[in-house]
Amino acid sequence: MATRLAEVPAHVPAEAVRDIDIFDIGAIDPDIHIGWKKLQNESPALIWSPRNGGHWIPMRAHVIERVLSDAEVFINGGQWVPPNPEGALPLIPIMSDGALHRAYRSFIMPYVIGKPLLAAIERARGLAIDLIEGFRANGSCDFVTDFSQHLPIEVFLSLVDLPSEDRPYLASLAEVVRMPDEAERMAAFGKMYEYVAGYVDERTKNPGTDLISTIANGSVLGRPMTREEIVGECTQVLIGGLDTVASMMGFIAAHLAVNVPLRRRLSAEPRLIERRVDEIIRRFGVAGPSRQAVADVEFDGIEVKAGDTLFVATALHGLDESRWSNSLEIDLDRPSSAKDFQTFGSGPHRCPGAALARSEIILYLEEWLKRIPDYSLVPDKPMVSASGNVTGVLSLPLQWEA
Ligand code: HEM
């Protein structure tokens, strides 16, 4: 957590300045989505925070939409929030723009749709059933560490054609990557890079038909990718789908633990899960990408100047009452559709894993509610969550009658 406060630039109006640390939204409310909502209710269209290098936070749906989709004015390859640590590898494709970004991204797309998607989901479904059956008789589990974080890892291993035996190691790193201590987090990221780099080297020499092989032997703008680019891109595919999916499942599980009529309806009418999953996803934005402005733009009288950085809390879009009345409620009769919300972003960087993530959420709900339709939070062990570039659920103890 950065403690040094940046100086407020002259063009930032005093009424837009808020001392908000994106890594500590829990200080506003322990339920992070409620914390964002409270802040949204009392804020102008954008606020400016002196924390983490000094940056804007778009607070309203119309600003979020423009910032995420207008890649001419808001670039991904500039300064991030928090500033990328010195010497850290850039994440690819998210920290790139234009033709280079399109080239990087083209390697991923064939693996997150069609047959590879179906194969990955089948593998994750098998694992979900095994995990639930493994702890069902205990009458309790930690939803995140015993269940949700394992599914996206299994999906990644399927996309890159690696065995399930690697899952416990990646799960142990995934736990550390979510910890608040920056040094520990960076060390775990380093181990993920190392893990991926081993397979990158192997598959550069002996390519298969998997995603790592495709990236490792890919060319961009008429030249082969560098090893740094290859490892950066393979690692982002791993990281991009890990905490996001596991945390969204965690928020959904916690919500269903206390919203009993909603849970009973989904259990009684499982066909609603696939039909209405977008409304559930709308409610729990978890990603927080950054942008840097390269031109001056005005939003509702507030001027963002070229060079300014922005942190986009996608959660705020799904909570904006001007788009979603009674936004905190999951209303299965609301006609939400992925094109209307920003949980997966929009524009050239829109999440390539959106269909995959959506299928993961569906399979989790189907397999869980079939086997454990009634469960509750554990009174003396509350959910532990953390805000930041991904709003994460670190731990969620649940209990039920075995
Ligand atoms: C619930 C789960 C997920 C959420 C909420 C989510 C959210 C997002 C968002 C908002 C972006 C756009 C970032 C930007 O505009 O700069 C993004 C990009 C990305 N996501 Fe996801 N994501 C999820 C799952 C996944 C999965 C399963 C994968 C695995 C393939 C993945 C891989 C990526 C990658 C590689 C990018 C960068 C795309 C680019 O820069 O072109 N994500 N994600």
Assigned domain for 234 exists: yes
Residues whose beta carbon lies within 6 Å of some atom of ligand 1? 68, 76, 93-94, 105, 108, 112, 236-237, 240-241, 244-245, 248, 286-287, 289, 314, 343-345, 349, 351-353, 356-357
Torsion angle of C-alpha atoms 157, 158, 163, 169, degrees rounded to 10? 20
CB 371 within 8 A of CB 132: yes
Assigned domain for 9 exists: no
User: Whole-angstrom Cα distance, residue 16 to residue 57?
Assistant: 10
User: Whole-angstrom Cα distance, residue 161 to residue 146?
Assistant: 23
- Taking alpha carbons only, the member of 135, 33, 35 closest to residue 398 is 135
- The CA-based angle 364-237-180, given to 5 degrees, is 80
38: enclosing H helix or E strand: helix 32-41
Q: How far apart are the first and last CA of the chain?
A: 41
Domain of residue 352 covers: 14-399
Task: Give the model confidence (pLDDT) of 30-84 as tens digits.
Answer: 999 999 999 999 999 999 999 999 999 999 999 999 999 999 999 999 999 988 7
Assigned domain for 6 exists: no
CB 143 within 8 A of CB 132: no
Q: Which of 81, 96, 351, 389 to mutate to test the pocket of ligand 1 (most atoms within 8 A of CB)?
A: 351
Q: Which of 68, 244, 359 to mutate to test the pocket of ligand 1 (most atoms within 8 A of CB)?
A: 244
> Which residues of 168-241 form beta strands (DSSP E)?
219-220, 223-224
Question: Alpha helix locations (H) across 206-240?
Answer: 211-216, 227-240
Reading the block at residue 354, the tokens are 């959106």
Determine the distance separating the centroid of ligand 1 and the alpha carbon of 276, expressed in angstroms: 21
Reading the block at residue 361, the tokens are 């959420």
Determine the distance separating the centroid of ligand 1 and the alpha carbon of 49, expressed in angstroms: 25
Assigned domain for 3 exists: no
Determine the distance separating the centroid of ligand 1 and the alpha carbon of 240, expressed in angstroms: 5
- Taking alpha carbons only, the member of 226, 225, 219, 171 closest to residue 195 is 171
* Residue 180: predicted pLDDT: 63
Which atom of ligand 1 is closest in space to residue 155's alpha carbon? 27
Range 63-67, long-range pairs (CB < 8 A, 24+ positions): 63/299, 63/300, 64/312, 64/314, 64/316, 64/317, 64/342, 65/317, 65/342, 65/346, 66/297, 66/299, 67/291, 67/310, 67/312
CB 188 within 8 A of CB 173: yes
* Residue 182: predicted pLDDT: 74
Determine the distance separating the centroid of ligand 1 and the alpha carbon of 399, expressed in angstroms: 31
Averaged pLDDT for residues 250-256: 98
Task: Give the model confidence (pLDDT) of 17-40 as tens digits.
Answer: 999 999 999 899 999 999 999 999
User: Whole-angstrom Cα distance, residue 153 to residue 175?
Assistant: 12
Reading the block at residue 28, the tokens are 């506003």
Determine the distance separating the centroid of ligand 1 and the alpha carbon of 329, expressed in angstroms: 24
Is residue 89's pLDDT more than 80? no
Question: Ligand 1 atom 11: the closest Cα is on which residue?
Answer: 351
* Residue 179: predicted pLDDT: 67
Which atom of ligand 1 is closest in space to residue 290's alpha carbon? 16
CB 104 within 8 A of CB 220: yes
Determine the distance separating the centroid of ligand 1 and the alpha carbon of 103, expressed in angstroms: 16
* Residue 2: predicted pLDDT: 45
CATH classification at residue 71: 1.10.630.10
128: helix, coil or strand? helix
User: Whole-angstrom Cα distance, residue 158 to residue 165?
Assistant: 12
Range 136-139, long-range pairs (CB < 8 A, 24+ positions): 136/371, 136/372, 136/402, 137/402, 138/402, 139/399, 139/400, 139/401, 139/402
- Taking alpha carbons only, the member of 177, 174, 139 closest to residue 154 is 174
Assigned domain for 252 exists: yes
Is residue 383's pLDDT more than 90? yes
Q: How many CB atoms lie within 10 A of CB 380?
A: 6
Which residue carries 């987090």 as its tokens? 185
* Residue 90: predicted pLDDT: 78
Reading the block at residue 255, the tokens are 């919500």
Counting the structural domains of the chain, the total is 1
Binning pLDDT at 50, 70 and 90, where does residue 251 land?
very high
Assigned domain for 2 exists: no
Question: Ligand 1 atom 25: the closest Cα is on which residue?
Answer: 241
Averaged pLDDT for residues 2-24: 91
CB 319 within 8 A of CB 33: yes
Binning pLDDT at 50, 70 and 90, where does residue 175 land?
confident
Assigned domain for 326 exists: yes
Q: Which of 115-124, 130-139, 165-174 has the lowest mean pLDDT?
A: 165-174
Which atom of ligand 1 is closest in space to residue 105's alpha carbon? 41
- The CA-based angle 22-27-33, given to 5 degrees, is 65
Is residue 353's pLDDT more than 50? yes
Determine the distance separating the centroid of ligand 1 and the alpha carbon of 350, expressed in angstroms: 7
* Distance set, CA 83 to CA 51, 54, 88, 221, 389 (Å): 11, 10, 10, 27, 12
Determine the distance separating the centroid of ligand 1 and the alpha carbon of 375, expressed in angstroms: 30
Determine the distance separating the centroid of ligand 1 and the alpha carbon of 237, expressed in angstroms: 8
- Please report the DSSP string for 60-97 in residue order: SHHHHHHHHH-TTTEESSS--SSPPPTTPPPPTTTT--
* Residue 103: predicted pLDDT: 97
Question: Ligand 1 atom 36: the closest Cα is on which residue?
Answer: 351
| Neighbour-count burial of 379, counting CB atoms closer than 10 A to its CB (0-12 exposed, 13-18 middle, 19+ buried) | exposed
* Distance set, CA 283 to CA 320, 329, 331 (Å): 10, 8, 10
Assigned domain for 1 exists: no
CB 252 within 8 A of CB 365: yes
